Structure 1
Amino acid sequence: MEEEVTLEHEGKTYSASYIAFDDEILVLLPDGSERRSTLGTLTPVQAAKGRLRVYIRALMHKR
């Protein structure tokens, strides 16, 4: 089942969808790219938010 996480940064809201299966997660980022991760000790929500944070940082770095 597809879920969604949302983070706010500098007044702008960013959302990413994710699908968790077994010990992996597939995160669908706002630009349409995908990232896969092994969950390990993280919950799917923690892992998806982590990927979204990295995406936001990369956007801020490009400025």
Structure 2
Amino acid sequence: MEEVTLEHEGKTYSATYVQVDDDLIVCLPDGSERCTTLRGLNPEQAAKSHLRGYIGALTRKR
């Protein structure tokens, strides 16, 4: 497993991810998972996109 980390408003968020063939499975900080078929995408960048979406959803809930 690999890990990506992003900072937002002074808080650090991390997610782990694993690539299985052409699929990416991302485990977000709340334990939920997101899956993506990569089709040539960079796995780390795709994982960061899922983490950004997670952070965005948290900030919209406030």
TM-score (norm 1): 0.95
Consecutive unaligned residues of structure 2, counting only runs of 5 or more, are none
Structure-1 residue corresponding to 2:5: 6
Q: Equivalents in 1 of 2:14, 2:45: separation in Å? A: 14
- Within a 5 Å distance, the mapping from 1:25-36 to structure 2 comes to 25-36=24-35
Equivalent residue of 1:27, what SS?
A: strand
Q: Equivalents in 2 of 1:53, 1:43: separation in Å? A: 15
Question: Deviations 1:1-53 (Å, cap 9, x if unpaired)?
Answer: x0000000000000000001111100000000001111123111011000000
Equivalent residue of 1:59, what SS?
A: helix
TM-score (norm 2): 0.96
2:42 matched to 1:39? no
Moved over 6 A (4+): none
Consecutive unaligned residues of structure 1, counting only runs of 5 or more, are none
User: Residue type of the partner of 2:55?
Assistant: I
The percentage of counterpart residues that share the same residue type is 66
Equivalent residue of 1:17, what SS?
A: strand
Structure-2 residue corresponding to 1:22: 21
Paired positions, count: 62
